[in-house]
Structure 1
């Protein structure tokens, strides 16, 4: 047995891991990427990492970092054809930086050595002494541990004192026989207390030979999931991995002799046992309903616990700058300076085309089209461009009208149909082209958006062929036809035989825009055909034959039907758009249904919550996205129609519309902290300046550098895109002191009725906050290692407090939220710097919470108050704003915090203004003590505010 290795900043260096995912598929889940460890090339040059806060920070800033790697072998020379990683030493390659303060295992037990009874013996690394729920159940056979059950419905446990909060742990477990009657479980016991409250990550060995995963608090289930595709046999070792960081717990399993999977079937946020605890180990359980014969012996092996590697940067290579120093022997010393950036470094630029919401959703959907013509071309176009490279355009015959006006404003076009103006074929025009990309031959869908009503066409006509396409199957041409019955049909043609047949009929009487899918599937010797209108099946049919692939000619209004003679308004319309072919047997209409409602691309995603829009846009772009918390239904911000725009601008607009959300670059993509998730946060880090230490060279002045946010807007105007506006200003006295500083925001809100609340809230965030901001406030982690655990959980939006400020600072506790930050890493140093705003505005009222008191805006001192008096009278103009007689709260009078004891406030008297007497007041609670003039404003020291 050996002791664990040392810990930074003591006897061990800060372990910094640098890794690149050369050749990674950037559209795939980052968990599936294969990483190359480059840490042995890492030079000791300090690495400065800048957080990328895009929305919600003191300024919009991209994530960045610079690392210096040894390159004497030329393997990291950009685009060097001799590199083993060629051609991926280039911009866009994923790169990550991780740290940990404890290299190597904290616990390692291989159960190797002299066989033990009533014990598992000392660990190879870590504990020498273990405690047991039943010593007689524990033994080793010289190579493995054993847990023997001679009774059911009991837990057998081995644990040791291993103080921890975060762990990366694995254990191998096997059972002697597949259980009968009920599953049996075994796994890792963690965050245990002296009283034996704990969390337990368990493998469930199922009665059918399948493996399940289960997370428990004591014996109560918190989360359960199956490990896809994993089965077991008696005696087969199954490996469980448990990764715990803060409140996040992840679990997965695989055959110990196999390959670790990339997915985490359990990814759960705990609300119990969230902090550092003392006990760690493993345990097993047989349920009373398990009917296997006893004794039943679990086998365990390779119990390993390490500190997790904490991600400090997950982004992409932005640039590679290589330097060379020729040496006397003819070789060269080379260093590769790798510039890193967040996801924004590889996304579309400001000059990218601004697509409509429907086009963006169709072209970037989960199933990408193999042929797509949006038909949103500009008015003077002479062809209909393909959205896909290499696919030819549709060419017109006859009087095609591009960018055809439908008689409604462009904004309404987006709101009603999610698209820009499309093309009119009403005057007998045809658009024809060819499908040249490969389409599967067993299932595909042809889709078009259309506004045409044959029943209203005059002179009367029985049918108009809207769309015709060619295939390589038995029926070499197919057509979607609008009929006078009314409705739509799909007809199949065999050109060689000169025959045709109607395969599917959709009887309906709808007038207006329709999103029509023709879904075709090979079903044995038959072809099944479905007609979908707005993603709902309205007609089906079957015909014998081979489906084949969509290939060759495709045309809209192939017979050049002319509807301009119609006297009926509905009959005059012949608008078509968004023609696409996809390798799937489902509707092409993108829509979402979630806990808040339903949203459709052909309605411009109207009503979609802001965090859902940001997530959907990211999914369309194949960009990783995380939302830190799910807002309640009354805490969401519903958005109006998605505007045409680039991905970056649209995702920023979604976050900005929340008036308080944070969007930052993280985990190879974006992370969004919704506004509602920022309400009433608990402190993530508390720094006591009474014990705060400083490394050599650290400037003490860096500990406290307050800056008045004097130019923050205090008079906000909020406009709705395409709508009205509302204005809100801070208190007049405040603006007389600081001046009126206007701010303006244009938001994609659902309705004009939201504007006033958003303007009021923005004023609250910038003008109601008491105290300074602290840009670049330093945290010396090397000199204060007790702060490291908390720092590792800090992120934009986290609350941070500084206690025991110098008296001259005027405040004992600085209470802030992080809105930006950076950190500098080196083997023997680690320092962080955070930009912060006051936390006070994020304290909001909670219904039925006695501590959620709203402030009075009309209370003043009735008379002068000297510096020692503990009895005084408050005058309040509004009866609704008089003070609670229960007391137990603090007042703020000209910067002095004065406590009102329990029952220390009298009932209001008079008919207005109302008088109340404070008795037994506690003066100078914030070390500020002074006399006050009559008429001085009286307010709550810590008021709650009505949240947006």
Structure 2
């Protein structure tokens, strides 16, 4: 017998094959897999010299690609998204300091990295720059002058700050305005022009939308009642069903649309003050008439990657801007590589780099200084600003600096610096001594008109007339303007070049004088043009409640401009007065109304702004915070916040998440964060449904029933305010001791940034509601996408906070369906396998009551119980309702779902009063119930903060 000789490798594997991959790994020799042959199409890329460079062929597979984002726990802050890659570095190309590497000088700290998978369809990718658009030339069918119907299906941040154009024929600069559909700060807006110059609009607040949705606007230019009617709509896709947003908006008189020469653009950039949309456009339509003839229909879903244009079904030819891209790839990670640690085997036959890329949270959370006060951050952005002195300098300062280039420091004497820190929008400010002075020079203004403003707190009104502030003016008959205060009144006075009064007025209303002292105020002095002269105005505004007063006078002559602001206090009547944030802007007012409102909100540190508004504002102010928001129904505002403190950026973001109870997570398609407020978690439709019996979930599916998140005695305190407490005193998770049917006391005490003292009790109730929800969490829901590729589109669309429904679960988990909120998503793609693991918590607490809703307005019973045994197939059961309101017998309010003995049943008829007979249909055939068992309805709780229970 002949044998073939082979040399054994001699390792612990006992393998005789010279090329055994296990042996090679044991000897430190890497085994690379050609990912381009991967049927799943995974691709890893680095942004090098501004170009996305494919590094997929250099991926080792001896350690899997591991991608994680979100957080597994209820209410916890997310860790940075992570992606682990192992790169073949035998050639040294991933050694940053290797001069022979083709990437020499391109690999550094925070090199952008992305990983993607082919999606089910292509889309038009737009980055929001003017060069990212799709365009078709003007043509007669597009020149619609009558009724119009515009539709766009896109994936976008619907609540992005600012105005963003979706589609339109609109060029502002040349008065070629026809029609434009756009978004603006959470509004959907249809603009049109009857003449190319003037503009009409219809707008409505957007409801809570999924990331991918369709928007629509219809305009009936002549509704038959001497007017026009605009209607705005949304739908999951352009296939419908369409839901009206708000209500139709009839207006008189009838209108028309200008037949301009502008091209039809997707993401137009030619509307003044409107930026192109950032996101993905899937398809769009323009119709002549409501539901009428389609005259343009760009559809990118079936195009090839890299397509430069298309001809749509109407014959319109579309070309793409240089920054627009057609692609079908879906991002599953987008982050940065902070380090490139080279590693090699002892034999030097293998070399590799273990890359640990991270999302933007890692960088945002490192080495950041606290943000400055809200006034200090806001005032330098004032239009027309000439000079600004925050006066937040430390107690050892000898002059008060200006953050504005070219503005000299303020000279001051007799000030007790950093003495008063009670203004929410400021760091500590100086108070005046018995004798104090200040002198601040103002650079030349570009033209006439001015406005000077500061914050102050005067303890008591001086008995004698005392100067509060003086403004020096040039180019006007008035050379100085003075504000005096005394118990006799507030005097505003203009003096000429000789120092004589030119004009003056005294305001002595007792309420106005009371409001001038004892509280934080803003003092503003400004001018306006009367047409024949100059109006001079002094106003003071209570920072806490916004109430304001003013005194005004006028003189003949020009408004002039400011050269200096000074103060000299020697009488003692102003001792202890706090002053700060002095600014001068070169803008006149209008009548008695100031043109500059830059202090608004910032003076009280934006107290009582909503959580979503705070995040949008922070993202606008801080370029590093790339933030998108998902806002719930406009009728359910996110929680009001307290004053914004001087903390690190991510501390402020975390305050918002903790207060509002929403979910913060990192985007996986581009670098940035997403916050979805709590209302977006309410009453969701399933984003994905998985059938356990059909094998769509890989075992094991293991529920966790522990007390890790159990809280039944919750105290919430408003920072700087009052407290509220909620205690769950009955039920299986109540504070009752175990021998009495509860679990004992599980306490929680938190201090939150809240806007009012009405909030702590409500939020304590909500947190107790979450903490005593009696369902299991599921930290591991595994999906093998290589075995179920039909699930890939739905899984790729999943985001933290989405609702996952599991049907036909095993009997060991309890009855189904199981409704879960996705908290964390993990991808583990390999050349021929792709496993996704979801970490989930119960969605039940977020199914809340909605007034007048046919299902969600139904409240739970107050103590009904089964009064006799019944089987799994019985269609009639008897119940007892000894206390509380009886069950409805109105057939119009039936059917209703209930759960008893582990079974969800649909009640089709109810007969009786206290002893009721329920006719039912079996909906899941779970099992039998015994006499005395209670149940819950599945239609929702009575309010956001009440605990559901039978």
Q: State the TM-score bracket (shorter-chain normalisation).
A: 0.5 to 0.7
Taking the aligned partners of 1:389 and 1:85, their CA distance within structure 2 comes to: 41
After superposition, the Cα gap between the structure-2 partners of 1:401 and 1:311, relative to the gap in structure 1 and judged at 3 Å, is same
Q: Distance in 2 between matches of 1:370 and 1:73?
A: 58
The 3-state SS of whatever aligns with 2:416 is: coil
Alignment of 1:523-922 (within 5 A): 557=567, 559=568, 561-564=569-572, 566=573, 574-580=577-583, 589-590=597-598, 600-622=601-623, 623-658=625-660, 660-666=661-667, 668-692=671-695, 700-702=698-700, 704-712=701-709, 713-730=711-728, 731-735=730-734, 736=738, 737-768=742-773, 770-825=774-829, 828-852=832-856, 853-862=858-867, 871-880=876-885, 882=887, 886=891, 888-894=895-901, 896-897=902-903, 899=905, 901-903=907-909, 905-908=910-913, 914-918=914-918, 920-922=919-921
Distance 1:860 1:506, change over 3 A: farther
Deviation for aligned residue 1:858 = 1.9
Deviations 1:355-398 (A, max 9, x none): 544344436x57697865433456x5454664749988656423
CA–CA separation in structure 2 for the residues paired with 1:254 and 1:71 = 53
Contact kept, 8 Å, 1:213 with 1:266, in 2: the verdict is no
* Paired position in structure 1 for 2:78: 60
Match of 1:362?
A: 379
Distance in 2 (CA, whole Å) between partners of 1:188 and 1:849 is 28
Shift in Å at residue 574 of structure 1? 3.1
1:402 counterpart SS class? strand
Residue aligned with 1:375, SS: coil
SS in 2 for 1:690: coil
1:16 aligns with 2:23: no
Change (3 A) 1:722 1:181: closer
Pair 1:448 & 2:468 matched: no
User: Per-residue deviation at 1:576?
Assistant: 0.8
The 2-side partners of 1:440 and 1:555 are apart by: 18
**More moved, 813-822 vs 630-639:** 630-639
Aligned to 1:483: 484
Q: Secondary structure at the match of 1:815?
A: strand
For 1:556 and 1:651, how far apart are their aligned partners in 2?
A: 39
Who is 1:320 aligned against? 339
Q: Secondary structure, in 3 states, of the residue corresponding to 2:690?
A: strand
State the SS of the aligned residue for 1:481: strand
| Structure 2 CA distance for partners of 1:619 and 1:878, relative to 1, 3 Å | farther
- Give the corresponding residue for 1:284: 295
Q: Is residue 174 from structure 1 mapped to residue 128 from structure 2 by the alignment? A: no
Contact 2:413 2:437 in 1 (8 A): yes
Partner Cα separation in structure 2 for residue 780 and residue 180 of structure 1: 51
C-alpha deviation, 1:773, in angstroms = 0.8
- Is the Cα–Cα contact under 8 Å of residues 897 and 941 in structure 1 kept in the other structure? no
Deviations 1:696-724 (A, max 9, x none): xxxx435x132124222122222222222
Does the CA-based 8 Å contact 1:450-1:575 persist in structure 2? Answer: yes
Separation in structure 1 between the aligned mates of residue 378 and residue 920 of structure 2, nearest angstrom: 63
- Flag structure 2 segments of 5+ consecutive residues without an equivalent: 1-34, 125-131, 155-165, 183-187, 198-209, 218-260, 286-292, 298-312, 542-547, 589-593, 946-950
The change in CA–CA distance for 1:180 and 1:392 in structure 2 (over 3 A counts) is closer
Trace 1:915-930 onto structure 2 (pairs within 5 A): 915-918=915-918, 920-922=919-921, 925-930=923-928
SS at match of 1:917: strand
Cα deviation for residue 816 of structure 1 reads: 0.5
The separation in 2 between residues aligned to 1:394 and 1:784, in whole angstroms, is 70
Write the deviation string for residues 578-608 of structure 1: whole angstroms up to 9, x where unpaired: 134668778664467xxxxxxx222343332
1:572–1:11 distance in 2 versus 1, CA, 3 Å: closer
Deviates more, 1:63-72 or 1:749-758: 63-72
CA RMSD of aligned residues (A): 5.7
Q: Distance in 1 between matches of 2:152 and 2:65?
A: 36
Equivalent pair of 1:14/1:828 in contact (CA under 8 Å): no
Pairwise CA distance, 1:791: 2.0
Give 1:682 shift.
Answer: 0.4
The change in CA–CA distance for 1:12 and 1:349 in structure 2 (over 3 A counts) is: same
| Alpha carbons of structure 1 residues 213 and 940: separation in structure 2 relative to 1, 3 Å | same
- Cα 1:678/1:425, change in 2 over 3 Å: same
- Separation in structure 2 between the aligned mates of residue 256 and residue 69 of structure 1, nearest angstrom: 46
- Judge conservation of contact 1:249–1:267 (CA < 8 Å) in 2: no
Q: Distance in 1 between matches of 2:674 and 2:68?
A: 15
Deviations 1:36-85 (A, max 9, x none): 31225773355433324599645532233345678899897669999999
**2:431 — aligned with what?**
424
* Contact 2:379–2:599, Cα closer than 8 Å, also in 1: no
Q: Determine if contact 1:174/1:298 at 8 Å carries over to the other structure.
A: no
Contact persistence 1:173–1:186 (CA under 8 A): no
Distance 2:796 2:556 in 1: 61
Deviation at 1:794, TM superposition (A): 1.5
How many residues get paired? 760
- 1: CA distance between counterparts of 2:97 and 2:571? 59
Q: Secondary structure at the match of 1:717?
A: strand
| Residues 153 and 281, structure 2, Cα contact 8 Å, conserved in 1 | no
Alpha-carbon spacing, 1:428–1:765, altered in 2? closer, same or farther (3 Å): same
Q: Please report how far the alpha carbon of residue 787 of structure 1 lies from its aligned counterpart in structure 2 after TM superposition.
A: 1.4
Which residue of structure 2 aligns with residue 38 of structure 1? 53
Residue deviations 1:662-697, cap 9 Å, x none? 223335443221222221100011112333368xxx
C-alpha distance 784-443 of structure 1, shift in aligned 2 (>3 A): farther
How far off is 1:246 after superposition? 2.7
Change (3 A) 1:641 1:303: closer
The CA distance in 1 between the partners of 2:85 and 2:470, in whole Å, is: 59
- State how far apart, in whole Å, the 1-side matches of 2:66 and 2:529 are: 58
Aligned twin of 2:212:
246
| TM-score of the aligned structures, taking structure 2 as reference length | 0.65
Question: 1:4: which partner in 2?
Answer: none
The answer to whether the aligner puts 1:515 opposite 2:522 as a matched pair is yes
Deviations 1:418-461 (A, max 9, x none): 4455222241123457789x99789986542234599x545545
Instruction: Provide the rounded CA distance (Å) in 1 between the counterparts of 2:870 and 2:653.
Output: 53
Q: Distance in 1 between matches of 2:834 and 2:450?
A: 56
Who is 1:127 aligned against? none
Secondary structure (helix, strand or coil) at the match of 2:78 reads coil
Secondary structure at the aligned position of 2:58 is classed as: coil
Structure 1 position 533, deviation (Å):
5.5
Once the two structures are TM-superposed, the CA of residue 104 in structure 1 deviates from its matched residue by 8.3
| Contact map agreement 1:66 1:338 (CA 8 A) in 2 | yes
- Residues 589 and 103 of structure 1, relative CA distance in 2, 3 Å threshold: closer
Q: Which moved more, 1:477-486 or 1:572-581?
A: 477-486
1:229-240 alignment to 2 at 5 Å? none
Change (3 A) 1:734 1:441: same
Q: Distance in 1 between matches of 2:924 and 2:659?
A: 37
Q: Deviations over 1:220-247 (max 9, x none)?
A: xx964689xx99xxxxxxxxxxxx9731
Judge conservation of contact 2:341–2:353 (CA < 8 Å) in 1. yes
1:374 aligns with 2:374: no
